[in-house]
Amino acid sequence: MNKYQEALDKLKENYENVFKASIIERDNEFYEDMDALQELVEKATPKKVIYSDYEEVDDDIYVANTAKCPTCGNEFEFGYWNDTYNHHCVCGQVIDWSKEDE
């Protein structure tokens, strides 16, 4: 769990504790804000891309040249993006470029 998720979980827990200890009505806007923050936490958590197109470079040796964002599904050229960016420019998802066995 990353520090953003921990902070968000503590904030939710503290809010629930205050709510239980008082006569304050639940604030739906608060929960909408929490959902928006959860979305940001998930985008800040690196996710591996989904390799979607492979090119044969030698007999039975294939190299990925197209990948999909794990969050929005947008396709992009693998070689250019992994050398240049650590996030997807369309949706902002942080990308984990490590190999699958790492």
Question: Is 51 found in the same domain as 39?
Answer: no
- According to the model, what pLDDT value does residue 34 have? 85
- According to the model, what pLDDT value does residue 82 have? 59
Question: Is 80 found in the same domain as 59?
Answer: yes
Q: Has residue 7 been placed in a domain?
A: yes
- According to the model, what pLDDT value does residue 28 have? 76
Question: Is 92 found in the same domain as 51?
Answer: yes
- Structure tokens that stand for 52 in this block: 């979607």
Question: Is 40 found in the same domain as 52?
Answer: no
Element (H, E) at 64: strand 61-68
Dmax (CA) for the chain in angstroms is 71
- According to the model, what pLDDT value does residue 86 have? 79
| HSE of 57, CA atoms in CB hemisphere, 13 A | 7
Mean pLDDT of the chain: 77
Candidates 76, 95, 78; CA nearest to 86 is 95
Q: End-to-end distance of the chain based on CA atoms, in angstroms?
A: 18
Confidence tier at 65 by pLDDT (50, 70, 90)? confident
pTM for this entry: 0.60
Please, are residues 3 and 46 in contact by the beta-carbon 8 Å criterion? Answer: no
Question: Is 39 found in the same domain as 56?
Answer: no
Does residue 76 register a pLDDT over 80?
no
Domain hosting residue 29, numbered range:
3-44
Q: How many separate domains does the chain show? A: 2
Does residue 42 register a pLDDT over 80?
yes
Question: Is 52 found in the same domain as 88?
Answer: yes
